[in-house]
A = this chain, B = another copy of it.
Amino acid sequence: MSDRQREPYPSDGLGASHPIPPTNAFPDLPEATIARLPEYLRALHNLADTGHDTVSSEGLASVAGVNSAKLRKDLSHLGSYGTRGVGYDVALLIEQIETVLGLNQGRAVALVGVGNLGHALANYGGFVSRGFRIAALFDADPARVGEPVNGLAVHHISELAEVVAAEHISIAVVATPVAAAQLVVDDLVACGVTSILNFAPCVLSVPDGVDVRKVDLAIELQILSFHEHRKASLTALPSLNATAVSDSEAVAT
């Protein structure tokens, strides 16, 4: 059960110095696990930068903010290369996770909508440092076309098809106003983009085979607001350092 480890994979010559499994075909990874792998990866990079060669599930779990049992189960799903009694090889695990996530290919990402948020995203270094390359910027406003943002010139949205094809773009970030989002997404899908990260606060309809993830900042705040509201209605239990919390909004118990 542990001998399918040494098998170099054929294509995608990225000069990997570690033995890597076939990698393709992870059809049945639990979605919850997938969502946590990036967090593990980030934690592992931190560990590697601070000179750690190996790490125990307990150690990695605490840095990643999860349960150690959950971590082990997650890693076991992708073949698990830990050593009992020792822990996990940090470098190997990094490469393993990056391979599973398909990050060692420097994926090209398009960003549509260069407004406030779009600007911030284009300048955000976190994308580049974590396996992505912002390959092109688009906007519908002719006044913005040509404007240089973080070293890239903004394309007009009408050039979408050719640029997407030329740059082999498969992932797009939508940071347009709500009114434009669905139109842009339709164009993106028509161009062959199959993964979309949507910042516009609306529901997008896409055909099967296209993945959409949504980030809605107001929704996050509203969820926090609920918990805040609920905490306020439980006014009674004296929290530890609640010296400054004595609001006047105490609801009648």
**A interface list, Cβ under 8 A from B:** 10-12, 24-27, 29, 34-35, 37-39, 41-43, 63-65, 100-103, 105, 107, 109, 116-117, 119-121, 123-124, 126-127, 129-132, 161, 164-165, 168, 170-171, 173, 189-192, 194-197, 201-203, 207, 209, 211, 213, 215-234, 239-245, 247, 249, 251-252
Contact = CB atoms under 8 A, between A and B. Distances in A.
Contacts of A234: 27
A218 B38 contact: yes
18 contacts: A11-B251, A38-B223, A63-B203, A100-B229, A101-B222, A101-B229, A103-B222, A107-B228, A117-B124, A126-B218, A127-B217, A129-B218, A171-B221, A192-B242, A192-B245, A197-B224, A207-B241, A211-B228
A161 B245 CA distance: 11
Contacts of A105: 249
Most-contacted residue by chain B among A102, A209, A224, A243 (CB, 10 A) = A224
Main DSSP-derived SS at the A contact region: mixed
Given A130-B218, A209-B240, A213-B220, 20 more contacts: A10-B252, A11-B252, A24-B229, A38-B218, A38-B219, A42-B201, A43-B203, A65-B203, A100-B226, A102-B230, A102-B232, A103-B225, A127-B217, A191-B244, A192-B243, A194-B228, A197-B217, A207-B241, A211-B224, A211-B228
A50 to B, nearest CB: 13
A171 B224 contact: yes
Most-contacted residue by chain B among A121, A131, A228 (CB, 10 A) = A228
